[in-house]
Structure 1
Amino acid sequence: MGLSTAFTELFDVEHPIALAPMGGSAGGALTAAVSRGGGLGLLGSGNGDQDWLARELPVLAGEGAGKPWGIGFQTWAIDVGAVARALEHRPRAVMLSFGDPSPFVERIRSTGTALIIQVTDLEEARRAVDLGADVIVAQGTEGGGHGARNGRSTLPFVPVVVDLAAPVPVLAAGGIADGRGVAAALALGAAGALLGTRFQATAEALLAPATARAIVEGRGEDTERNRVLDIARGSQWPAKYTARTLGHPFLDGWRGREDELAAAPHAQQAYQDAVAQGRIPALPQWAGEAIDLIDDLPSAADLVGTLAAQAEAALARAGRR
């Protein structure tokens, strides 16, 4: 049957599925695999680190088979130069998340590149519409990694953004890890789904083996939103955005004491020492609430097709009831 939506038509992709541009883990191989599988791969550029991009972009070019792809940035962490350098590689889309996208919109649109803006509340959604986003990603709080401290759950948030943004296509994000979640996103009026944690648990993700195992073995109740780990590792993430992670010794020790931790350089040094000594993971183990649904580490290219088939089956079952 196939699931044709405004999103698949915009990017000429087979399935209404996109890779969340997860900084660090969504490298060239993973981005290429998702695009080869019929979705839209989005390279996780994060802060636009030039050395990282110089390493991952050739991988993407070599393995992408000429398929559409895009690149994502943490908007608060970049400048116009980072976007300009990315545009030289002719991505089909640039995705901006977490911060004010307005300084970068004109540069992106002047090249004919599609603009994707991720939003975590209705104020951000209205701004994305006003800025002329080609696609809006509505992120619920169930998702892994960073999101709004005071955001809303995916199920009620997505249809509100769909109504607000129409006719701009919306992707649902947050707590989607199988085809039933993709089907639910479509039923809510979204034009597709953007998945992060599910694609972290794949053969192509740039992920420490211990973290991949933790995702496969973890449960949704093992995750929680926090700022502790950003503060401990000296990250400058804006306080508006917390991160959903798996458990961590520093999280247990400093939960609810964020201001105290921020004023305790000895504790932050202790974190760095523990990382250097291999006693704690080098990065927080970002993971969403839907990790209960993840029990394997497939190829991302195969996974896209599996998700699409599951979504079609779920919608067919719903139609028979």
Structure 2
Amino acid sequence: MALRTRFTELLGVRHPIVLAPMGGSAGGALAAAVSRGGGLGMLGSGDGEREWLERESSILASGTDRPWGVGFLTWAVDAGAVEHALEYAPRAVMFSFGDPGPFVEPVLRSGAVLIVQVTDTEEARRAVDLGADVVVAQGTEAGGHGARRGRSTLPFVPLVVDLVAPVPVLAAGGIADGRGVAAALALGAAGALIGTRFQATAEALVDPAITRAIVEGRGRDTERSSVLDIVRGSGWPPEYTARTLGHPYLDRWRGREAELAADPRAGRDYREDLARGVIPPLPVWAGEAVDLVTDRPCAADLVATLAAQAEDALGRAGRR
């Protein structure tokens, strides 16, 4: 049984599996491997920093001739960075967290597929009005950043599917194996956007300590918070929080975010603790499905495994 969907037909990929454009860790080698495996690899360009994009795009181009894309943090990027990324001819461009309105025109003009991630129904309507070719419905189970007042993946995905039809929807949040991909398809989505599972792959641009933490992590140990954004001075808008594994500064400042933001010593303490190596080099972004991540395969093999698991899960459900 082939998992052909409107998304696979639109992008010309074999499997309805997409690498989440995780800032920094979804580099050229990882995106290329996902695309070689039959999914859609996405560079995590974040704010569109030129040196990073040039380096990782070169790695990606030498690693695959299959479709690939690039993702931006909408609140952090500027029009020049988007224009620059389009020079590399990505097959898809994705915007997350903020109003993509100022950036969509050059993407649509280029012929690239416009993907917009949404966290509520208002954003979903806005994405369609802007001409989105694909909408990503992100649930609060997702690792990394998401809406402070978001919705769980299970009820949110079919709501968005109905709202934006016939635009294809990708489900995101809490998907880390083929059963999750199958569930997304059963909810009416045309594919799944997956992050945490791809953090623990051979090609991911992450510190080995982070890989170990993900492989050993448990969903019950994840939490959504703004503490680590505040103490790192990361600039994320307050309407977004991040799901991570445990961290000493979460324990120190949980529930005291306003006090943390007003304390100039906290940032200095954090930087000093980083320099001394007593806290992790970065927060460990991880979703609630982290329990299902138990190894560190090559990403291309992982795509094939996820697709096979999804086919098997759908086949078993059909026989029942």
- What's the TM-score, normalizing by structure 1? 0.99
Shift of 1:273: 1.2
Partner in structure 2 of residue 126 of structure 1 = 125
Structure 1 stretches lacking a partner, 5+ long: none
Cα distance in 2 for residues equivalent to 1:41 and 1:251 = 32
Cα distance in 2 for residues equivalent to 1:269 and 1:82 = 31
Partner in structure 2 of residue 43 of structure 1 = 43
Cα distance in 2 for residues equivalent to 1:320 and 1:78 = 48
Shift of 1:298: 0.2
Partner in structure 1 of residue 150 of structure 2 = 151
Partner in structure 1 of residue 12 of structure 2 = 12
Deviation string for 1:234-280 (max 9, x for gaps)? 01101111000000000000001111111111111110111122211
Shift of 1:54: 2.1
Cα distance in 1 for residues equivalent to 2:148 and 2:63 = 37
Partner in structure 2 of residue 33 of structure 1 = 33
> In the alignment, does 2:206 pair up with 1:207?
yes
Cα distance in 2 for residues equivalent to 1:171 and 1:141 = 15
Partner in structure 1 of residue 63 of structure 2 = 63
Partner SS, residue 55 of structure 1: helix
Shift of 1:107: 1.2
Cα distance in 2 for residues equivalent to 1:318 and 1:54 = 45
Partner SS, residue 115 of structure 2: strand
Cα distance in 1 for residues equivalent to 2:209 and 2:77 = 30
Deviation string for 1:159-190 (max 9, x for gaps)? 00000000000000000000000000000000
Partner in structure 2 of residue 165 of structure 1 = 164
For 2:166, the aligned partner's letter is P
> In the alignment, does 2:109 pair up with 1:110?
yes
Partner in structure 2 of residue 315 of structure 1 = 314
Shift of 1:295: 0.4
Deviation string for 1:122-161 (max 9, x for gaps)? 1111100111100000000000000011100000000000
Cα distance in 2 for residues equivalent to 1:206 and 1:105 = 28
Shift of 1:52: 1.1
Partner SS, residue 76 of structure 1: coil
Deviation string for 1:9-54 (max 9, x for gaps)? 0011000000000001000000000000000000000011112112
Partner in structure 2 of residue 52 of structure 1 = 52
Cα distance in 1 for residues equivalent to 2:125 and 2:279 = 40
Cα distance in 2 for residues equivalent to 1:105 and 1:62 = 27
Partner in structure 2 of residue 239 of structure 1 = 238
Cα distance in 1 for residues equivalent to 2:175 and 2:66 = 24
Cα distance in 2 for residues equivalent to 1:122 and 1:260 = 33
Q: How many matched pairs? A: 320
For 1:277, the aligned partner's letter is R
Matches within 5 A, 1:296-315: 296-315=295-314
Cα distance in 2 for residues equivalent to 1:189 and 1:259 = 41
For 1:100, the aligned partner's letter is D
Cα distance in 1 for residues equivalent to 2:52 and 2:312 = 39
Partner SS, residue 141 of structure 2: coil
Matches within 5 A, 1:85-104: 85-104=84-103
Cα distance in 2 for residues equivalent to 1:195 and 1:167 = 22
Q: Give RMSD over aligned pairs.
A: 0.6
- What's the TM-score, normalizing by structure 2? 0.99
For 2:276, the aligned partner's letter is Q
Cα distance in 1 for residues equivalent to 2:136 and 2:97 = 12
Partner SS, residue 38 of structure 2: coil
Cα distance in 2 for residues equivalent to 1:167 and 1:243 = 31
